[in-house]
Amino acid sequence: MKGLIDTHCHLDRLDAVEPALSQAREAGLSGMITIGTRWSERRKQLDLLACDGPSMRVWCALGTHPDHVGEEELPGCDEMVAVLDHPGVVAIGETGLDYFHGGEETRSAQKASFRRHIEASRKTGLPVAIHSRMADEDMVTLLQEESEKGAFPFLIHCFASGPYLAKAVLELGGYLSFSGLLTFPKCEEIRAVARDAPSERLLVETDSPFLAPVPKRGKPNTPAFVAYTAERLAQERGVSMERIIDQTRANTARLFTELVL
């Protein structure tokens, strides 16, 4: 069953990249998108593009995670756009809102950084890979406000919320990316969203090395394990694994237009 693509992994955080790539190949993956968490560390992701090959495609995304907005200054939009215009860079992120830590000051810094990433998306056409944690209302408001200024492609990575966020995202044309959370016993609300979402808006990812799916839960995650999440997605939707692979692959190719399969 070839053809799975892990749309969100942190290859730079894995213990060793080469074994992870061969394990992924054995598990039936054909590609992965490694994503940065600090704009200042973008070189790490760009260097990983050297792993790209015919049997395992590797693309990358560049941005600053909301948890790190206080630690570095983003460049202006034009400077970002110039860097993003690089073969193999297929998305902007991760960015977004994470209200688990920090107070009001952090939140406004996160919003400003998030809006800058969106502005770069409008200029490049690259999709925004969005992290959203405990921030549903502000996320929906910001996505609506920004969409009114001009459309931009986006996905919510590691979808961890419920129908309120899902509905707003789908109405704005966004995609939902499901991670190992889909397999966790307590995450029934996420599974309900995964069952109901339109098939043309589904993506799968690992967010490795974090959040390994059942039956690997508690171990370091690796892109190969996206197969467990895809299997669970197939099971929840009552379709074959082949169908999920084909559908998520087509969705990935449609959203990440720079990603040539």
Which residues would be at the binding site for Zn ion (CB under 5 A)?
A: 207
> Shortest gap between Cβ of 212 and Zn ion (angstroms)?
13
> Shortest gap between Cβ of 131 and Zn ion (angstroms)?
6
Dihedrals phi, psi of 20, to nearest 5 degrees? -65, -35
- Measured from the CB atom, the residue of 71 and 200 that comes closer to Zn ion is 71
Contact 61, 89 (CB under 8 A): yes
Q: Which amino acid is at 199?
A: S
> Shortest gap between Cβ of 35 and Zn ion (angstroms)?
6
- Measured from the CB atom, the residue of 31 and 234 that comes closer to Zn ion is 31
> Shortest gap between Cβ of 78 and Zn ion (angstroms)?
26
> Shortest gap between Cβ of 260 and Zn ion (angstroms)?
23
- Measured from the CB atom, the residue of 6 and 207 that comes closer to Zn ion is 207
- Measured from the CB atom, the residue of 12 and 207 that comes closer to Zn ion is 207
Tokens of residue 21, six digits: 């790539």
Q: What torsion do the CA atoms of 224, 227, 228, 231 make, to the nearest 10 degrees?
A: 180
> Shortest gap between Cβ of 240 and Zn ion (angstroms)?
28
Dihedrals phi, psi of 178, to nearest 5 degrees? -100, 140
- Measured from the CB atom, the residue of 35 and 234 that comes closer to Zn ion is 35
> Shortest gap between Cβ of 256 and Zn ion (angstroms)?
16
Q: Which residue is nearest to Zn ion (CB)?
A: 207
- Measured from the CB atom, the residue of 132 and 234 that comes closer to Zn ion is 132
- Measured from the CB atom, the residue of 88 and 93 that comes closer to Zn ion is 93
The set of residues, in sequence order, having a beta carbon less than 8 Å from that of 186 and lying 6+ positions away, is: none
